[in-house]
Amino acid sequence: MQMISQPTPIAYALKGISPKMGSPNGMDVVMSFSDEVTERKNRQLLGVCDVSCLSRFAIKGPGTAQWLEANKISIPAIANSWKLQKSGALVLRLGNSEFLIEDQPEGKLCAALNVADRKTLTGLYKVERSDVALILSGNQVLSLLSELCTLDLREKALGENALVMTQVAGISATIIRQSLNNEPVYRLWCDGTYGAFMWDTMLEIAVEHGGGAVGFSSHYKL
């Protein structure tokens, strides 16, 4: 059977350039935009990276916390917070009874949850998501966020495991700050249909600050 790759939500914004592409998890994303030195410079100054291809699983309903714990997921204690699993997977608690889980590139947690038995508990509703997921990195990242978001997202204002749902460039988005490969980065998820707009908007600002687009392989080695 022929496997068909799914385009990334930012595919439209990539028209006209020819970056090195790859298909982790069956989605066509940019692995690198330029040579390794430039990618590293952008990543460390102000880099915008598309990681929409990471597997995600979302579920909501009154029985969700109990069901996740029964499936050996360590969940955040309160809404609007997140927790890292031993596997590196992120568990985001979007509300009292709504969760979003995102795997590392070769993680299997989302695939396992997709086929896990949900009939033993009532009040479980799987949520279909088509997020654009971005990694914002570099020492100038707050300059970008302060232009697009009204909230103070500095380290002292945004708690270590806090999650905020706010508007970025006028688009509803979920933001956390985490450490990735020992570098502090911001993670952002928003509806995939806004992907090209979000990408273009962020990239324009990133370039103004001397940064730019960063490929998937700059953050993850496959």
Partner 1 sequence: MKLLQCPMNGTRPISEFVFGGELRAMPNPETSTDKEWAAYVHNRNGAPGLKKEWWYHGPSGTWFIAERNTLTEEVLRTYLFGQETAA
Nearer to partner 1, 121 or 158 (CB): 158
Q: Is 130 in the site for partner 1 (CB under 8 A)?
A: no
Q: Is 167 in the site for partner 1 (CB under 8 A)?
A: yes
- Residue tagged 């979000």 (tokens): 198
Q: Is 79 in the site for partner 1 (CB under 8 A)?
A: yes
Tokens, residue 46? 């102000």
| From candidates 121, 142, 164, 180, binder to partner 1 by CB under 8 A | 164
Cα pseudo-dihedral 8, 124, 88, 106, rounded to 10: -50
Helix and strand numbers, DSSP H then E, in the chain: 5, 14
| Least Cβ distance, residue 5 to partner 1 (angstroms) | 31
Q: Is 172 in the site for partner 1 (CB under 8 A)?
A: yes
Site map (CB under 8 A) of partner 1, residues 85-104, x = contact: ---------xx---------
The closest of 4, 7, 35, 31 to 20, measured between CA atoms, is 31
Sheet strand arrangement including 6-7: 6-7, 27-32, 20-22
The stretch near partner 1 (CB under 8 A) out of 8-16, 83-91, 160-168, 213-221 is 160-168
Please state the φ and ψ torsions of residue 121, each to the nearest 5 degrees: -125, 145
DSSP string of 124-185? -EEE---EEEEEEESTTHHHHHHHH-SS--STTTS-TTBEEEEEETTEEEEEEEEEETTEEE
Tokens, residue 40? 């590293």
Q: Is 73 in the site for partner 1 (CB under 8 A)?
A: no
Q: Is 150 in the site for partner 1 (CB under 8 A)?
A: yes
| From candidates 53, 144, 153, 173, binder to partner 1 by CB under 8 A | 173
Q: Is 49 in the site for partner 1 (CB under 8 A)?
A: no
Q: Is 81 in the site for partner 1 (CB under 8 A)?
A: no
Sheet strand arrangement including 125-127: 81-84, 90-95, 98-102, 56-60, 125-127
Q: Is 157 in the site for partner 1 (CB under 8 A)?
A: no
Q: Is 151 in the site for partner 1 (CB under 8 A)?
A: yes
Q: Is 80 in the site for partner 1 (CB under 8 A)?
A: yes
Query: What is the contact surface with partner 1 in residues (CB under 8 A)?
Result: 79-80, 94-95, 150-151, 164-167, 170, 172-174
